[in-house]
Structure 1
Amino acid sequence: MLILSRFVSSGGSRFAQPPSLCVTRSLWVCLQLKSPKRQSPYSSVDSERYSSLVKSVMSTRVSSQTPESLLAEDEHVYGPVIKAAQNRTPTPEMRGPKTLHPFTQSGDYQEPGEPEAGPPTRIPLNRNQNRSSVPSVTRILQQTLSQEQIFYLERWKRRIIAELGEEGFKEYTQNLFRQGKLFHSALEDILSSGSTWMNIDPSETQKYPPDVQGYMQSISHVLEEVSAVRAIESTVKHDTLNYLGVADCVARYRGVLCVIDWKTSEKPKPFLSNTYDNPIQVAAYAGALNNDENYKYQVENGLIVVAYKDGSPGHAHQLNPELMLENWKSWLVRLEKFTEQRPNQASTTTPEKR
């Protein structure tokens, strides 16, 4: 086969170039000369301004959502931040308890596998008895919040007040409390009857407000797996550590005996970390129950159930014995902190329901 080629000079050297390549290149040059120049979609962009924008973005820290930046953002949107809130910069609080009190007790207790008998225990909180000496779990947790928790709580409150006003914020919080109370009352009815929300006659559900119906529908799938209820809205007290609380429920969830805490939320909480101090609260209740002579059994597991007003499926976060013990240690730290902050708490503190 005869192979045609031509020689092209380039800097004194000569090399062979196939004719097909020459034709292709010539055709491409002709098309470029004849066709109008295509406009880049970025040709109209102010390159100088764009360049400064890129520089400003690149010079910004990757994690901009820090307390300092949030304070600056709030000051710009809502006005100057109060000095007290500015001074409360988050600081890590990592330490173990000085004294590791036992979470459970040894003794003549019913084994977890033994069947339960009789109606659920319901020990009401006597607000007049030991009024000046026994603080509640809720009070202790509220008064020992970390600086970071205080910062974000104040920021949330400030944003709501900016949107609704002082009176609107008061009404908002009262409404949340009212809904929570009605929700717990509905749960009491269901659990005491030994039924579930799905098995109730539809006409019976109509007696509850629409918001409560949404909450109950949200956790109906969880209630299907709750059985053998041992206690409902019952006071637990730790005589040695001098605190008390009211446990929402003690029952079996998927066959495991748990201290159960029912929560409502406007935002999804799909992870245990989204529940903030709730695991510590549950561990505190369980630790008190395990040391309370009114309860002849021990509980090593916990459950936090989050219900949503719109009826969307709620989240159930189970705490195994290892997690409960970890949160029990955190509770002991908070209890020590409370005692250190309020050395005269015996004469100034009153118990609360939660």
Structure 2
Amino acid sequence: MKPFLTTCRLLRSLNRFSVKPSPLVSLSTSSYLCDQKKKSSYEAVDQAKYSRLVWSVLSRAPVQTLESLFEEDDVLYGPVGKRKAPGQEQRAGVPQNWFPIFNEERNMKPHTSVSSGPLKIPLQRNVIPSVTRILQQTMTPEQSFFLERWKQRMVLELGEDGFAEYTSNIFLQGKQFHEALESILSPQENLKGREEHLQCGYIKSVQHILKEISGVQALESAVKHEVLKYVGLMDCVAEYQGKLCLINWKTPEKTKLFIRNTYDNPLQVVAYMGAVNHDAHYSFQVQCGLIVVVYKDGSPAHPHFMDEELCSKYWAKWLLRLEEYAEKQKNQSIPKPV
């Protein structure tokens, strides 16, 4: 009996530490197992917030330059044709009829006394073309294309009447700015008027340039080149950092950091320089140019100085434009065959 009891106790103790068989692992691809898969980090992103961010970035139109417009049109319409416009072959070469921009018979320094006031010769309207007209009539096909494209965009946005009002306001702002500058640079300017002008954004923009200007010789004065047959109305002739310059004020809506961004403005400057140096109304000679890009919001203006060498290069280009204009006028005067 005792051995039997001992055996029972042994079996009972073994049963206490028994190991139950584990269930077989299932290889099922049930939805339960798929739910256990690790989530991607992208799934945790706020999709609504992300969509708004993408839209805000893509909806901001970049500031367009002439180069970016070319690239855009290449994508939309293909590259611009390589065919040259009439007269464009001459533009890349040397002027056929050379005339110097500088006058060897003129003195470098003016004799006019500043105290007597700057020269202001009125512009006489006649059959001789203006510098502005010549440049407009000889724009490259690319310049004409983008100018017309810009106009069409503005008309679509503002309407015909709105665009007319917009251009009228731009012209009026430029006129008022030039009048304010003329008043400030004239010796007769009173302190009260000077304080009123300082409230203008354009004048604030150009303040650091005005500190470098002295010895004003001419303001809003007409010039005429008797030999090359063109006229114009220049903005200013004065000393800038000690050098006598023909100064051109520009009030664009976009920033012009480099002189290449001013398009035909350097040609306008050298055209006036060449006329001043050979116009009998002026006793001095100008050898440098200055384009001052002024901003309505009061941001510091950008001065683009043109030394004698740079002026000579642009003068050659201006002579080519003159020849191109003369050729166009000649072709228009020839009667077409019936």
Alignment of 1:241-256 (within 5 A): 241-256=228-243
Quick one: percent identity of the two aligned structures? Answer: 47
Q: Does 1:190 align with 2:193?
A: no
Match of 1:310, SS? coil
Of 125, 129, 138, the match for 2:123 = 125
Match of 1:124, SS? coil
1:90–1:146 CA contact under 8 A, matched in 2: no
2:197–2:203 CA contact under 8 A, matched in 1: no
CA positional deviation for 1:154: 1.0
Gaps of 5+ in 2: 1-35, 45-66, 334-338
TM-score by length of 1: 0.69
* One-letter amino acid matched to 1:301: C
TM-score by length of 2: 0.72
Question: Once superposed, what is the RMSD of the aligned Cα atoms?
Answer: 3.1
Of 115, 129, 140, the match for 2:134 = 140
Relative to 1, partners in 2 of residues 1:336 and 1:223: Cα closer, same or farther, differing over 3 Å? Answer: same
Q: Does 1:260 align with 2:263?
A: no
Match of 1:217, SS? helix
Alignment of 1:150-189 (within 5 A): 150-189=144-183
CA positional deviation for 1:192: 0.8
Alignment of 1:102-121 (within 5 A): 102-107=100-105, 109-112=106-109, 116-117=113-114, 118-121=116-119
- 1:231-262: CA deviation from partner (whole Å, max 9, x where unpaired): 11111111000001111000000001000001
Counterpart CA distance in 2 for 1:206 and 1:229 is 20
1:88–1:147 CA contact under 8 A, matched in 2: no
1:278 is matched with which residue? 265
2:63 is matched with which residue? none
Counterpart CA distance in 2 for 1:308 and 1:260 is 16
Relative to 1, partners in 2 of residues 1:66 and 1:124: Cα closer, same or farther, differing over 3 Å? Answer: closer
Relative to 1, partners in 2 of residues 1:191 and 1:276: Cα closer, same or farther, differing over 3 Å? Answer: same
Relative to 1, partners in 2 of residues 1:277 and 1:158: Cα closer, same or farther, differing over 3 Å? Answer: same
Relative to 1, partners in 2 of residues 1:248 and 1:273: Cα closer, same or farther, differing over 3 Å? Answer: same
1:301 is matched with which residue? 288
Alignment of 1:36-115 (within 5 A): 38-41=38-41, 65=68, 67=70, 69-70=72-73, 94-107=92-105, 109-112=106-109
Match of 1:308, SS? coil
CA positional deviation for 1:204: 3.1
Gaps of 5+ in 1: 1-35, 45-63, 75-85, 347-354
Match of 2:281, SS? coil
Relative to 1, partners in 2 of residues 1:41 and 1:155: Cα closer, same or farther, differing over 3 Å? Answer: farther
Q: Does 1:216 align with 2:203?
A: yes
Bigger helix share = 2
